[in-house]
Amino acid sequence: MTHGKYLVLDANILIRIILGKKVYGLVEQYRQKVGFYAPAVCFEEAERYLPIIFKKRGISNMEAVTQATKPLWSCVRPIEEWMYQDFKEAALLRIAKRDPDDWHTVASIVTGK
């Protein structure tokens, strides 16, 4: 499905989709009208931190983590780095001192996907 509008999400929002009802509900509500994307590195970051967060919440069953992430992979499409790599410098300038590690997300926005 082609969407006229899109949102590029970072790892924090991907985690909120899994852990929070509100963010997941918003994605579900708008997924037919809006394309949701995230840099692949943000998926990797979310996958790295979710088990830690689950453990802190007393959930040690990794199957629960796997099941919790399934909806995420169906509603948010990954963007590979080669698609936005050329925009790294512009993204770093734009994000300045806020969080240079988020340049992937900013560059993805610049590319239009």
Determine the distance from the C-alpha atom of residue 35 to the mean position of all C-alpha atoms in its chain, rounded to a whole number.
Answer: 12
Overall average pLDDT of the 7-32 stretch: 88
pLDDT at position 40, please? 92
User: Counting Cβ atoms within 10 Å, is residue 79 exposed (0-12), middle (13-18) or buried (19+)?
Assistant: buried
pLDDT at position 111, please? 56
Q: What's the whole-number average pLDDT of the chain?
A: 82
pTM beyond cutoff 0.95: no
Are 76 and 37 a contacting pair, CB within 8 Å? yes
Percent of the chain with pLDDT over 70: 86
- The answer to whether residue 11 scores a pLDDT higher than 60 is yes
